[in-house]
């Protein structure tokens, strides 16, 4: 079956699994996941599963990406910080729904590969950084001191303080936290006097490696 047809089926499956934000579903209809998947796994691109992208990392499962995007309630004026560019697929999806995406990846080879694909498909509202995203992106360029939304695609032992401080009051962050082999997905809402945390579901992500993540892996 052609990838275009497989993509339609993937979107139907996301809908059946509870994704009902039409903007999120439209993003999944438009972005070609096969572009971000290594040659040897291309035939599996439209299955609802995580796939290996090299360097011991994965392109996330479509459902979890869609779910995280849905709970963030993305708006076209949002400035979004993404930690863990990975393949760049989620970056592409988010970029189609918001004003700008600032994405940070610690593994240089993955960051360059993602950047090349995203440039090729002419995404113009994405800014890239190679480094430890557990510290957020202080001195982001273009200048952005606080973000409307933050999405973390790797599991952290706790909620990194630098990410809280780079979230606008009223802004939302989605972040997995817990043990290395089992985490929960947290929806954080920043308040004037701290933040509110809602635990949404269990999940399993690769570790967030860095100063405010798993510092000693
Ligand atoms: N959502 C991505 C996609 O669609 O391909 C998949 C992200 S993958 C599950 C998690 C990524 O987080 C990996 O590429 C990993 O290298 C990266 N990562 C882990 N710790 C990080 C850190 N401290 N800063 C930035 N990236 C980090």
Q: Is the dihedral of CA 39, 83, 203, 73 positive or negative?
A: negative
Atom of ligand 1 lying closest to residue 55 CA:
16
The CATH architecture to which 4-203 belongs is 3-Layer(aba) Sandwich (3.40)
Predicted local confidence at residue 123, as pLDDT: 97
Tens digits of residue pLDDT in 132-155: 999 999 888 788 889 999 999 999
Residues 6 or more apart from 119 whose CB is under 8 A from it? none
Atom of ligand 1 lying closest to residue 213 CA:
23
Predicted local confidence at residue 108, as pLDDT: 98
**What residues are in contact with ligand 1 under a 6 Å CB criterion?**
57-60, 83-84, 86-87, 89-90, 104-107, 110, 132-134, 153-154, 205-206, 208-210, 213
Predicted local confidence at residue 142, as pLDDT: 83
* Alpha carbon distance 79, 127 (integer Å): 11
Q: In the 3-class helix/strand/coil scheme, how is 139-206 assigned residue by residue? A: CECCCECCEEEEEECCEECCCCHHHHHCEEEEEEEEEEEECCCCEEEEEEEEECCEEEEEEEEEECCC
CA of 5 to the centre of ligand 1 (A): 29
Predicted local confidence at residue 140, as pLDDT: 80
Say whether 207 sits in a helix, a strand or coil: strand
Predicted local confidence at residue 144, as pLDDT: 84
Nearest CA, atom 24, ligand 1: 133
Residue among 179, 173, 94, 111 at smallest CA distance from 136? 173
Residues of the chain with pLDDT under 70: none
Residues 6 or more apart from 130 whose CB is under 8 A from it? 104, 105, 106, 108, 111
Q: Per the structure block, which two tokens stand in for 68?
A: 């995280």
Residues designated catalytic: 60
Predicted local confidence at residue 62, as pLDDT: 98
- How far is CA 209 from each of CA 29, 62, 72, 134, rounded to the nearest angstrom? 32, 23, 23, 7
Predicted local confidence at residue 80, as pLDDT: 98
Atom of ligand 1 lying closest to residue 208 CA:
20
Nearest CA, atom 19, ligand 1: 208
Predicted local confidence at residue 87, as pLDDT: 98
């Amino acid at each position: 079956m052609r990838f275009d047809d497989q993509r339609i089926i993937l979107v139907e499956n996301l809908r059946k699994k509870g994704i009902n934000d039409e903007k999120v579903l439209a993003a999944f209809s438009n972005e070609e996941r096969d572009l971000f998947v290594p040659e040897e796994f291309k035939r599996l691109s439209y299955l609802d599963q995580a796939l290996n992208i090299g360097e011991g990392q994965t392109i996330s499962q479509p459902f979890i990406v869609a779910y995280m995007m849905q709970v963030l309630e993305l708006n076209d004026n949002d400035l979004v910080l993404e930690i863990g560019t990975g393949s760049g697929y989620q970056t592409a999806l988010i970029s189609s729904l918001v004003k700008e995406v600032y994405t940070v990846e610690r593994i240089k080879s993955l960051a360059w590969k993602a950047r090349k694909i995203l440039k090729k498909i002419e995404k113009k509202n994405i800014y890239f950084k190679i480094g430890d995203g557990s510290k957020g992106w202080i001195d982001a360029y273009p200048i952005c001191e606080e973000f409307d939304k933050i999405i973390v695609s790797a599991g952290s032992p706790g909620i990194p303080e630098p990410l809280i401080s780079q979230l606008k009051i009223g802004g939302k962050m989605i972040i997995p936290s817990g043990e290395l082999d089992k985490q929960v997905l947290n929806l954080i809402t920043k308040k004037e006097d701290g933040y509110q945390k809602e635990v949404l579901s269990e999940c399993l992500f690769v570790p967030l490696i860095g100063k405010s993540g798993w510092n000693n892996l």
